[in-house]
Structure 1
């Protein structure tokens, strides 16, 4: 059973990203939204952790949140819009929001 993990908190204020990465299954996906997109700041520790797992990680990021924060998605992440977010939610058996 696959799970879509949704993170919205900055990786610089707590450990949700690290906890999520430890629990990700092979068929799971991770969506960064809100301040969680700061994990994609090149040169940062969260960026390095995500990049290290890029080949095995299905990583999505809300394009609107990237744009609002002046960031760009790396080649190993897929920027999506809200309709694609809904599609992702439907494609996975469960959605886990890391509140």
Structure 2
């Protein structure tokens, strides 16, 4: 079953992102929102090996560049992703 992992905390504050990446299966995806979008700052190599989505509003609010292979979504896209994947796991 494919899981969408939703992260909103800074990757520099704790190890949630690393834990998430180590548990992700080949059909899983990760949605970065809030301060989790800082995970896209170079060198963002490990996360770019996964299926990555980022909330466009949070990317713009932080004036970040979106690396190749990362799909930006709006809130409607967030809802579509939550329906596309079998499960949604929010890393609180």
TM-score range, shorter chain: over 0.9
> 1:4 — aligned with what?
4
Count, aligned residues: 92
Q: Of 54, 76, 82, which aligns to 2:69?
A: 76
* Distance in 2 of aligned mates of 1:72 and 1:79: 11
* Distance in 1 of aligned mates of 2:46 and 2:9: 16
TM score, norm. by length of structure 1: 0.89
* Distance in 2 of aligned mates of 1:48 and 1:91: 25
TM score, norm. by length of structure 2: 0.95
SS at 2:42's partner residue? coil
Q: Of 43, 47, 51, which aligns to 1:50?
A: 47
1:97 pairs with 2:90: yes
* Distance in 1 of aligned mates of 2:64 and 2:71: 13
> 1:36 — aligned with what?
36
Q: Which runs of 4+ in 1 moved over 6 A?
A: none
